[in-house]
Structure 1
Amino acid sequence: MTEPSAGERRLWSRYVAIGDSFTEGMCDDDPLLVGNGSHGEFAGWADRLAAHLSEMAQDSGLGFGYANLAVRGRKLADVVGPQLDKALALEPDLVSIVGGGNDILRPKADLDALASRLEDAVKRIRATGADVLMATPVDPAEAPLVKATRGRAGVHAANIWSIARHHGAHVIDQWGLHALRDWRMWADDRIHMTSEGHRRVAMAALQALGHAPADADWETPLEPAPPISRREALQANAQWAREYVGPWVHRRLIGRSSGDLRQAKRPEIGPLD
């Protein structure tokens, strides 16, 4: 895909985000954002991206509206089904669609079927004239437990790039964003990002859309963290298993999701506060 020149970079006025907990913004509890316009418990990369897009649109004399239909725990079938139906009804000119992460956690995930569903969704969005923004998974090579899904995550990432190339979509390259491999970018549950992680993903999204982020160091990894002892590491792992892994396994066993009974935090397009 050829990147447009600076004078051709597109602006958007109606952005809708669909997906799961990543796009809902879980664990980005930045008080300046959550207390100033976020319509839920968390902000997140999509809210942060929307703020940048809104500023650029307003600088050019355009109005801007944003909706976020993502809900934690949702699998791809919901993202490309009910969420996408609602998104297109809002007549967006930009849709971010990130899904499949909860699916590929399952050992029997059908990656070909996931790719087919995702491609059908992208084609449906592009048929309206709207632009599409997708995201690869983060490389889970160093993630406890989740690293077992690295092969599936890698195939999913490759499929995303292929779909984007075939249909002129944009891609946030989380797999190649090495700064995200630092555990200080991740919340205590080791599944969702901190505010700093979400901030960097928003910068990556802005770049993927053809705009240069104002922060020139957004890709630069943090300085190395001080080492911890083996005992401290074991204690941290035990606490993580007790507080997060156990409840997650329990929900799986009883067929429940963390997003059950939850609604989208921004179900209608509206201006940012």
Structure 2
Amino acid sequence: MRGDFGDGKNGRRRYVAIGDSFTEGVGDPSKVLPNGVRGWADRVAEKLAKAQPGWEYANLAVRSKRLRHIIDEQLAPALAMEPTLVTLYAGGNDILDFGTDMDALLNDYELLVAQLSETGATVVLFTGFDVKVSAVLEPFKKRNTLYNQRVREIAAKYGAVLVDYWCFEAYKDSRMWAPDRLHMSKAGHKYLAAQVLDHLDVPHKISPKEWEPPSRLTLREWERRQRRWVNDWVVPLFGRKLRGVTLGDSLEPRWPQPVKVPRKGGLKKLMENREAAQ
């Protein structure tokens, strides 16, 4: 494992994840874990605990949160936990909002990274992926490119670990994405967990999904899928924007306080133990 993160005060090892749906785990459903999802951050926490005993984990990320919400709602609790490892992805929802001032957004993002870096924790940052969802979203590509450029610069400036998600060819396969085409599927979350662990030099046995080449769709099949996607995901998304509501409004963080991750059985085992104790 990397020599620049791990033991904090009194030998504490504490991983805190902050952000939005990307980090909450949306797209990777679970029947037993909080908020009904698992995600790459849970997997990273479990592999950390397996590699080194004593790791604690908190995940404050909530779907739909904008950068300002993450700063207002997640930063102070994260700092109070005195983490030794922090992962941050924030700003993706802002990029998709009309009227976003990108310079102001990225200045706030840098201030957030600076405060996290001052803790002495290892900070992991992510660029955003150019999701080929629809031509409707192509105008946002310029914003995404600017965002990624600044994230790379900020990571270098503050000595953060950069996971350059933009460059991962594996995500060009549609099977790495959930039905909404904006969030990773289970396979996508597993792949990202492996990437984060590799960047931190943490041993693991997560292997990429091996698929046969995707079958070619007929024009009718493609049109049917497009209509279903628009009806199931696009129309509800814009409806929520018009009403000023989000899917995260009624949700709490999945792991709001640090939990000690069992080396065997992981977070599912932790939930089983909680239920048995009730």
TM-score interval for Structure 1 and Structure 2 normalised by the shorter chain? 0.7 to 0.9
Structure 1 Cα separation of the partners of residues 138 and 199 of structure 2: 26
Give the corresponding residue for 2:73: 82
Q: Deviations over 1:1-51 (max 9, x none)?
A: xxxxx673643610011111111101202x5xx53xx33300001111111
Say whether 1:160 aligns with 2:151. yes
Q: 1:104 to 1:234 in 2, by over 3 A?
A: same
Q: Deviations over 1:187-212 (max 9, x none)?
A: 11111111100000111111222346
Q: In the alignment, is the contact (CA less than 8 A) between 2:5 and 2:121 conserved in 1?
A: no
Structure 2 Cα separation of the partners of residues 166 and 184 of structure 1: 35
Structure 2 Cα separation of the partners of residues 66 and 147 of structure 1: 37
* Alpha-carbon distance, 1:213 to partner: 4.8
Give the corresponding residue for 1:149: 140
Normalization by structure 2: what TM-score? 0.86
Say whether 1:135 aligns with 2:126. yes
Normalization by structure 1: what TM-score? 0.88
Equivalent in 177, 184, 190 of residue 193 of structure 1 = 184
Give the corresponding residue for 1:237: 226
Counting aligned pairs with the same residue, the percent is 36
Q: Deviations over 1:196-253 (max 9, x none)?
A: 00000111111222346534x53x8844201010110001000110111111111111
Q: In the alignment, is the contact (CA less than 8 A) between 2:35 and 2:251 conserved in 1?
A: no
Q: CA RMSD in A?
A: 1.8
The answer for unaligned runs of 5 or more in structure 2 is 8-12, 262-269, 271-278
Q: How many residues align?
A: 256
Structure 1 SS opposite 2:52 = helix
Structure 1 Cα separation of the partners of residues 156 and 2 of structure 2: 23
1:1-273 correspondence runs (5 A): 8=3, 10-11=5-6, 13-29=13-29, 31=30, 34-35=31-32, 38-58=33-53, 63-140=54-131, 142-144=132-134, 145-211=136-202, 213-215=204-206, 218=208, 222-272=211-261, 273=270
Letter of the aligned partner of 1:149 in structure 2? F
Letter of the aligned partner of 1:180 in structure 2? Y
* Alpha-carbon distance, 1:271 to partner: 1.3
Letter of the aligned partner of 2:199 in structure 1? A
Letter of the aligned partner of 2:85 in structure 1? L
Structure 2 Cα separation of the partners of residues 148 and 268 of structure 1: 39
Structure 2 Cα separation of the partners of residues 227 and 48 of structure 1: 33
Structure 1 Cα separation of the partners of residues 3 and 77 of structure 2: 30
